Structure 1
Amino acid sequence: MNQDIPSFSRKDLQIKDQGSDLIVKFNDQVGVSLMKRRALRQPIAQLFLACCFCLLAGGCAKTDMDRVSEAQDCLDTSTSTNALTCMDKIDGITTPSSYLIRCAAYFIDQGFQDPARLTQVISQITNTSGNGGSQSIAALAAMGFSASKYTMAQNDQLSADALTACQNSLSGGLIYLASASRIATAALHDIGFIPSSTTPPTPTDVHNALCTNGGPSTTTKAAIGDAASTAYQQNCAGANVTNDVLCQQYQAAVNAGGGNSTAVGGSLINTFCTP
């Protein structure tokens, strides 16, 4: 690099000396190449150019991309105690990438970033074998929202919010996980499960919520049906149906329900409650 033209760089603006050109980039996306002149061979001239470029680019105000990037940085270092605050940085933004941040934040808030929790989830989700419902219930239990810092009613609402965010992120895999969380959490809320930091929901808890005392209420059946339909339509269709037991169960319930959420939920619950 030519030593008499030092590089000037910040997160949203870069000026670099490349051969006969001076490259100016803004947000790593908008760039111009300017022929070098002697007048630009001083740091003060480069700073002046940077100011001019900001004005031409519509000012140096943060773009939506900047804010999403900041929210991602926030999320990368967050824990279950502060993950939801990262969403404040993208308030008002409705792009898929912003919803991806929100989706992930809800799961981190529930402690899913913990290695032990992740191991449990992966083990259960990837071990859905056979046609019965017991293994599916074990997978659902691993995904339930049950943070002890919230009431179960709050966890239930958070699981609904997470499913909406993940759905808007357009990520099929996250929609699949959020749907499982929604199904388990809605059922647990229905029976008055009390969150505890020492005793997370077990497969027995979820089985009791789905399969005893007449099963969930009509409202909960509809919520379960909506979650199953969402997972099937946005993640399971196609090859995933043949490779994933939960997807097969979702497909059967959607077909049996005929477009009625309560009927879809009822059909899925019957499958889960069949050993």
Structure 2
Amino acid sequence: MPTKPTRPRPRNIELLSTLPTEIRNQVERVEALRAKNFRGPEYELLADELFRYAYAPLMAKMGSGEIAALAGDSATPLALSPDEFQTLRSSQADRDELAVHTIAAALQTFRRRALDEGLWRPEENLGQGGRPASLETYFFRLCLMVFPREMWRWRAEREDRFARTANRLSPHYVRHRLGYETSSAPGGEVGALCDGVLMLLESASERERAVVALTLDGHSAGEIADLLKLTVSTVESVLYRFRRKARGWRRRGGLRLSSEMRAHALQTKRTAAGDH
């Protein structure tokens, strides 16, 4: 059942008359929308204008990393990890997803606070530098206010996606992907290698484990990027860091390749050298 228009307290006509013409026109537009219960094509047009106004700045602030500081006044605490900063800088798809969800949430808050409750009162609540805040400026502040909540949602969905894939990395799965089919845990060189790989994976992040699991399945970097909603460059970077970590463990004796695998690696190097 449609809700009835609310009746915010009367506006101060004297203060309204001191506003710049552009802001007064926006106030009149909002009052006209309130008379129509904020429904119909006029409201949809305003929502579309606000979406287009906020989208590009949100994308830019996420890409530059400024978004965390700008959202500092939100009631929801926000601290981005270095990995998240890197993801937002490099992944347009993630920025787009966050921007769209943030604006959609901000529009709901905007309708309730600025329109239904009449809390956008530029004649009384001055903005930066003592200037009255435009409707667009007010809306962008709402976007910054709700962004941390959307960031938490995005983070939880992302971690769930990584965890579902990473949880497949059981000892049996690792042994199977390394080419060893045994009914019991292998011993000797094979056992040492499997134990080393498992220890290395235990210290990895969920994202690293998910990328490694899909790599062991034989997926390409592009396929992994599609499955985990990452960029190809991010997948390649994760694999590069993991392989570098594995080489360090191997030098320190944490990973010991079987004689068969060492022979295969030596033959591969010789073949590659012969090709050149």
TM-score using structure 2 length? 0.25
Larger radius of gyration between Structure 1 and Structure 2: 2
**Between Structure 1 and Structure 2, which shows a larger proportion of strand residues?**
1
Higher RCO, 1 vs 2 (CA within 8 Å, ≥6 residues apart)? 2
**Between Structure 1 and Structure 2, which shows a larger proportion of helix residues?**
2
TM-score using structure 1 length? 0.25
